[in-house]
Structures are given as structure tokens and as C-alpha cells.
């Protein structure tokens, strides 16, 4: 069957103009059995000169002329991401409902049908211009092995407050865990997000973190930039639980007790914080001074001590460390300025056993509860419901429809 050009389909409007030659007047007795003809034609970008890159902030439109109708349109970028769109009920046109990416190459596939049922096909490629402003994401921690309490962080290169923009960002930040684990992002402030599972990470899990923001429109004039992915693996589940009222720490590995240690915690006025903390670092030697926590030099409570085998749990200076000067009080009373002190032997064992991301929990103290975000990783002191309330995705509900489905209209046969 042959076709003579008599009318055309146009990819048009502000982004792309594509005249397509459509089928001739004749038709076979079974047009659906014929091989779709190539609806060739010229390709013109917008109202600009041919070859100029399209503005990604403007919609993509496809229109048919004459009696022909469009039956199917798909538009994808070089990574395979679909552009959501809507086809008119009568097949006269299609327009994008999702934003185009900046600095991307697009492939648009258009299917048409003439009044006799002959099928036409046309594929068009075009490029979008680069973004003026880029939003980059820096993930943390760096790739490596961590304890099961380690949160993931995402630092943005610019503040984002608009709820719609936050939704775009959050949907593009991907966390894939094996074994699969329920988790969510939480907006700490306008530039910082944390991600944690509902419960602690599984032992010996692999967690891949990446951004799909590259080229994606976040807000007017602001597009996502590239980012470096990270891969975390978890070790055993190591938890140190300190009962400040009993002056004792119990260390567990994968639910089994492996050591009980006499300790001393914060005395009245310097009570140790309750709650779950995550190990931030380990320092074999630290010089601790009272002035670092607001104690005036020369006062009765001032101190300046060499401290060994120190495991940090807050940025303000709370550690689990060797305290040979208080061994007589360990297991009996609380005499520290907020740290958890133990013998040098026990502190060295603890230092060698614990790792970044492991869990240090304090109960039974007269102190306040560890804050979630401003002094280390207190993320686990929020309930799961409280954590989810910090997500921009309205409890993560999705409608389940894919962009390809939204972009297509199947002809009735």
C-alpha cells in the first residue's frame, strides 16, 4: 500500500514544531495489517531557527491537522524518563503536563491514524537548553560500613522552602536497601534532609543512595544538578544501653549481651542526656576542658584533663571514655559532667568494639532527651509518625499510575 502526502501532524507551540506527512486517500481492506508508514517531514524548533535548543520551562505540544488523529505519544529523555502528558479525547493534540529537563536530549514518538485506519509513525529528537541555576545534593556519610543506626543525610546547595519544590526533590532522592526496608526522608531545615528506616537498618544490609534530580525542574529557573551516589553497608547490630540510675552499661551484639560495664554518668546539674544517640566518631586521645561546656576556668567545677579511648556521641562533647580518676564511683554514683566514664580497660574494649553508626542509648537519667538534629544524630528519638510528618510527600502516598500511562491514549479497535 502506498501513501501520498495530503495532510500533516505538527509537534508545535512553544517548544517543537514537527510537520508529518500522513497517509493517502486510499486504503487496504485491512489497514491494521499494513506496516505503519513513515510519516516523514520537516523538523522546526519553535519559532526559532532550526537547530536551536528548546526552552525547558515551556510545554511540549503535538498537534494533528485535517481529519487525522493522534493515537499515541511518548516523550523520553536520554535516561529513559517519561514526560507526563495528556491527549485530547478526539486525538487532535497532545501536550506535556510534566516539566522538561534542562540540558537533555528528548525523543518524541508520535503515532497517527487516518480516517481509513492507516497507521503512521514518526520519531523526532530535540535538545533542551542548559539551566541557569543548578541545585546540587551532597549525600552523607561517605561510602563505607556503618552501624545499623546510621542515618543518611542530604545537603542541598541552596535553600528550598516551597512545598511543591520539596516534593520534586524528595521524589528524586532514591534510597534502595537490600534487604528491602521501609524508610522516609525528613526535612530538618530548608537545606538539609535526613533519611532513616522505620526501625534500625537490617544487619549486613547494602544501601544505595542516589539523586535523580539532574536536569529536573525544581522551581522556576532552578534545575537539579549532578550528584555523587554513595553506598553504605551495615555490620552487626551493636547497641550500648546505659542505665544511669543503675550506673551500668550493657553492650549487645545482634541482641545478645556481650559485656556489662560499671559506669558513672552526669551528676546533678550535668545530667547525661536520655535517648538514642549514634556514634559520631572515635578519638584515642582528647583534651577535655570545662570551658568547652561553659564552665568558667578556676571555678569549683572546672577541669582540664587528658582523656583516652573516647567515643563521641554528640557534637557538643558528650563521650563514652576512660575515666580512671572516678573508678571508685563507677557502678555506684554519678559524678561526671555529662559523659559516660569507665575504667581504662573497659573504655579500650568499648573503643575497639563500637563503630560509626552504632547505637548508644541512655535511660534512667534526670537529663533531658537527646534532641533530634542539632547536636548529632538523635533521629531515633522521634516516633515513626513524627518522622513521617517531616516528609514532603504526604505520608508517601502515590496514585500508582506511571508516566507512560498518562502520556498515552489507546485507539479503540
Q: Which CATH number do you get for residue 343?
A: 2.40.440.10
Give the global pTM.
Answer: 0.75
- For residues 170-180, give the mean pLDDT: 97
Q: Which of 186, 321, 337, 355 is catalytic?
A: 321
Q: What is the predicted pLDDT for the residue at 22? A: 38
Least confident of 105-119, 294-308, 314-328: 294-308
Burial class (CB in 10 A: 0-12, 13-18, 19+), 86: middle
pLDDT in tens, 114-149: 778 888 788 878 888 888 889 999 999 999 999 999
Q: What is the predicted pLDDT for the residue at 280? A: 98
* Segment of 10-14, 38-42, 250-254 carrying the highest mean pLDDT: 250-254
- What mean pLDDT, rounded, does the chain reach? 84
339 catalytic per annotation: yes
Burial class (CB in 10 A: 0-12, 13-18, 19+), 68: buried
321 catalytic per annotation: yes
250 C-beta neighbours (distance < 10 Å), count? 16
Q: Which domain holds residue 340?
A: 238-376
Are 44 and 72 within one domain?
yes
Q: What is the predicted pLDDT for the residue at 314? A: 96
Question: Is residue 72 domain-resident?
Answer: yes
Query: Is 398 a residue whose pLDDT tops 50?
Result: no
The closest of 314, 322, 240 to 281, measured between CA atoms, is 314
Are 93 and 65 within one domain?
yes
- Predicted confidence band at 110 (pLDDT cuts at 50, 70, 90)? confident
Q: Which of 3, 247, 339, 355 is catalytic?
A: 339
Higher-pLDDT residue of 333 and 104 is: 333
**Peptide bond preceding 159 in cis form (omega within 30 of 0):** no
* Cα 305 from Cα 311, distance rounded (Å): 16
Query: Is 377 a residue whose pLDDT tops 90?
Result: yes
Higher-pLDDT residue of 291 and 133 is: 133
Query: Is 409 a residue whose pLDDT tops 50?
Result: no
Domain boundary among 212, 234, 256: 234
Query: Is 19 a residue whose pLDDT tops 50?
Result: no
**H or E segment and range at residue 353:** helix 344-353
Give the chain's domain count: 3
Question: Is residue 392 domain-resident?
Answer: no
Question: Is residue 402 domain-resident?
Answer: no
CA 79 to chain centre: 18
Q: Are 368 and 346 in contact (CB under 8 A)?
A: no
Question: Is residue 156 domain-resident?
Answer: yes
Are 78 and 140 within one domain?
no
Least confident of 22-31, 63-72, 95-104, 375-384: 22-31
Beta-strand (E) ranges in 246-345? 248-253, 256-262, 275-278, 281-289, 304-312, 319-322, 340-342
Amino acid at each position: 500500500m502506498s501513501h501520498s502526502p495530503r495532510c500533516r501532524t505538527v509537534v508545535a507551540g512553544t517548544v517543537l514544531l514537527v510537520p508529518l506527512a500522513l497517509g493517502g486517500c486510499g486504503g487496504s481492506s485491512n489497514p491494521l495489517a499494513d506496516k505503519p508508514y513513515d510519516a516523514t517531514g520537516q523538523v522546526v524548533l519553535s519559532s526559532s531557527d532550526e537547530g536551536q535548543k528548546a526552552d525547558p520551562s515551556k510545554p511540549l505540544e503535538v498537534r494533528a491537522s485535517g481529519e487525522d488523529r493522534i493515537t499515541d505519544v511518548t516523550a523520553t529523555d536520554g535516561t529513559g524518563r517519561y514526560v507526563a502528558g495528556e491527549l485530547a479525547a478526539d486525538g487532535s493534540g497532545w501536550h506535556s503536563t510534566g516539566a522538561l529537563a534542562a540540558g537533555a536530549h528528548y525523543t518524541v514518538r508520535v503515532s497517527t491514524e487516518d480516517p481509513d485506519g492507516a497507521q503512521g509513525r514518526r520519531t523526532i529528537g530535540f535538545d533542551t537548553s542548559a539551566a541557569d541555576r543548578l541545585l546540587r545534593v551532597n549525600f552523607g556519610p561517605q561510602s563505607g560500613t556503618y552501624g545499623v543506626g546510621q542515618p543518611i543525610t542530604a545537603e542541598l546547595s541552596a535553600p528550598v522552602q516551597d512545598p511543591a519544590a520539596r516534593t520534586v526533590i524528595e521524589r528524586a532522592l532514591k534510597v534502595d536497601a537490600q534487604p528491602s526496608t521501609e524508610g522516609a526522608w525528613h526535612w530538618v531545615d530548608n537545606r538539609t534532609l535526613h533519611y532513616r528506616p522505620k526501625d534500625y537498618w537490617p544487619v549486613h544490609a547494602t544501601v544505595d543512595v542516589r539523586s535523580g534530580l539532574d536536569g529536573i525542574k525544581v522551581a522556576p529557573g532552578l534545575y537539579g544538578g549532578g550528584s555523587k551516589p554513595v553506598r553504605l553497608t551495615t555490620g552487626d547490630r551493636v547497641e550500648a544501653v546505659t542505665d544511669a540510675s543503675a550506673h551500668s552499661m550493657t553492650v549487645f551484639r545482634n541482641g545478645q549481651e556481650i559485656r556489662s560495664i560499671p559506669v558513672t554518668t552526669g551528676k546533678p546539674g550535668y545530667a547525661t542526656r536520655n535517648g538514642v544517640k549514634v556514634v559520631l566518631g572515635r578519638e584515642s586521645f582528647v583534651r577535655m576542658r570545662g570551658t568547652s561546656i561553659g564552665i568558667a576556668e578556676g571555678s569549683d567545677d572546672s577541669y582540664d584533663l587528658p582523656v583516652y579511648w573516647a567515643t563521641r556521641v554528640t557534637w557538643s562533647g558528650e563521650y563514652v571514655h576512660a575515666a580512671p580518676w572516678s573508678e571508685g564511683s563507677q557502678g555506684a554514683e554519678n559524678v561526671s559532667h555529662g559523659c559516660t566514664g569507665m575504667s581504662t580497660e573497659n573504655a579500650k574494649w568499648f573503643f575497639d568494639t563500637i563503630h560509626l553508626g552504632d547505637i548508644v542509648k541512655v535511660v534512667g537519667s534526670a537529663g533531658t532527651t537527646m534532641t533530634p538534629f542539632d547536636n548529632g544524630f538523635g533521629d531515633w528519638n522521634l516516633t515513626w509518625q513524627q518522622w513521617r510528618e517531616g516528609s514532603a510527600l504526604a505520608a508517601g502516598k502515590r496514585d500508582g499510575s506511571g508516566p507512560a500511562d498518562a502520556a498515552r491514549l489507546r485507539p479503540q479497535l
